[in-house]
Amino acid sequence: MHEPPLSLIGLIRTLTAPSTLPHLAGFLAVVIALYLAVGSTEGLVPEVAAVFVGMGLTYAGIAMLAEHAMVRKWVVSEGGRVTWKLFGVLIAPLAAGVMISGAVLMLIEAAGLRSIFPMILAALFVAWSIGQGRSFRSAVVRWPTPALQADARQPPGAVAAALRLFLTGLLLLVVLVTQGALAGTSVLSSSVGLFDVLLDQLALAAGLAALLVVGEFLTAEGRRACGQDRWTSRMFSRWHVVALAFSAWHLGTAWRHMTSEQPQVATAIEEIFLMTITVVMAVWSMTSRTRGSDLGLVRRSNALFWGLAFGYAYAGSVAMLSTVVQGVSLVLSIGHVVVAITLLAMLRTTGPALAARHATALDHAAIGQRVEARIAEKAETEENTTDELALPPPAEPEPHDEVPVAASEAQDETSEDEDVIELLD
């Protein structure tokens, strides 16, 4: 029995389902506690890194075993009192996480990697940055095709292009204003002056204008590949706008970190928001019905646990960056630049990939329709044959009812029978 397709909205509802919601609360509590611990006690950095890795491995294991009845009994709240719902399902994951974290720490100590391991975890931030860009592209390319037949159209004209440019420019303006407001918080700490912030924002505005032009060149081939079909044209246009907006946000964040010193609270909030988007998109790109991934790792029963496993790994990387790496702003800037470059590089390949996948989906739908039509035709033929066999044979006339037939008429009937036999032969 195949599971129904897991849409993006369905995935978000699954991640926030009441039966597993305590795990999200537990995740936030553990992450905040680890952040406070590593910030207040520098000597606990390796232990905190081991806990992040251990909890991530724990939830990855739960995700792989989530369909077993015994595991679900311990980690999914399907009834009971409110207190049990809030705390009962966290006992098994926290206990397993403590044991696995202890094992990880023992391996680190035995291998002599106590001082290096936090740096390794921090370096994973770059991998997460690349994965964030790829997850957006995968989510778009694997978006379910709603139509079963091609919806041919003329390539978008000047009006559609002008509308797309207007929407893109509007979003870039929103990014510019928001980044300017965040950069203005550095004035409160007297790290830079207001005039310097304005000059930095003017430079960012010029960079975003150049980004708009670069986006048009990078998407030219994709627009041609998707322009012949209405659905692919709309889908790629939306991806174009969203990808440029996210690239602009990451470039603006990198520029802000390089030109001013941001409060840690603002940086933490921004990184948590980006972490949430990264986790959701990473889980979405791994689902078996997104559509086209053959991994089949993520389903409704384990989507939240995969998301928490990714969340612990990502949060651990950011925590290590903020504590053990000198010049964390520069490192975060590099990570944001990597995300932006990844998105821009994929602007060139997303259009042809989307058009090819859509064409394949239409071919499969056409084959399915032909097979269904043949099956229906065969069933109808068999039904007609059965009805003909079920009819009673015609009654023979009584001897006294026989009527003499003229020789000419008998000859005509014989001729007609021979013609029918030849036709059947």
Closest to 311 measured CA to CA, from 22, 53, 16: 53
- Asked if residue 164 has a cis previous peptide bond (ω within 30° of 0), the answer is no
Query: What is the value of pTM for the model shown?
Result: 0.69
Cβ-Cβ contacts under 8 Å for 351 (sequence gap 6 or more): 219, 221, 222, 223, 224, 225, 226, 236
Given pLDDT bands bounded at 50, 70 and 90, which one contains residue 69?
confident
Given pLDDT bands bounded at 50, 70 and 90, which one contains residue 338?
confident
| 417 pLDDT above the threshold of 50 | no
Instruction: Enumerate the β-bridge partners of residue 334.
Output: none
Cβ-Cβ contacts under 8 Å for 179 (sequence gap 6 or more): 201, 204, 249, 252, 253, 255, 256
What does the pLDDT look like over 262-297, one tens digit per residue? 666 667 677 777 777 767 766 666 664 444 444 556
For the chain, what percent of residues have pLDDT higher than 70? 69
Closest to 248 measured CA to CA, from 350, 144, 171: 171
- How far, in Å, are 24, 31, 70 from residue 92 at the CA level? 15, 18, 12
**Better pLDDT: 287 or 127:** 127
Of 108-117, 210-219, 273-282, where does mean pLDDT reach its minimum?
273-282
Largest CA-CA distance found in the chain, in angstroms, rounded: 125
Q: How far apart are CA 264 and CA 254, in angstroms?
A: 15
- How far, in Å, are 61, 242, 277 from residue 239 at the CA level? 34, 5, 16
Q: How far apart are CA 191 and CA 327, in angstroms?
A: 15
| 54 pLDDT above the threshold of 90 | yes
Can you say how many angstroms the Cα of residue 105 is from the centroid of all Cα atoms in its chain? 33
Closest to 101 measured CA to CA, from 65, 140, 152, 49: 49
Given pLDDT bands bounded at 50, 70 and 90, which one contains residue 152?
low
| 103 pLDDT above the threshold of 90 | yes
| 259 pLDDT above the threshold of 90 | no
Instruction: Note the residue count of the chain.
Output: 425
Beta carbons of 249 and 263 less than 8 angstroms apart: no
- pLDDT, mean of residues 392-407: 52
Q: How far apart are CA 124 and CA 312, in angstroms?
A: 12
Cβ-Cβ contacts under 8 Å for 173 (sequence gap 6 or more): none
Crossing angle for the helix pair 328-390 and 117-141, to the nearest 10 degrees = 40
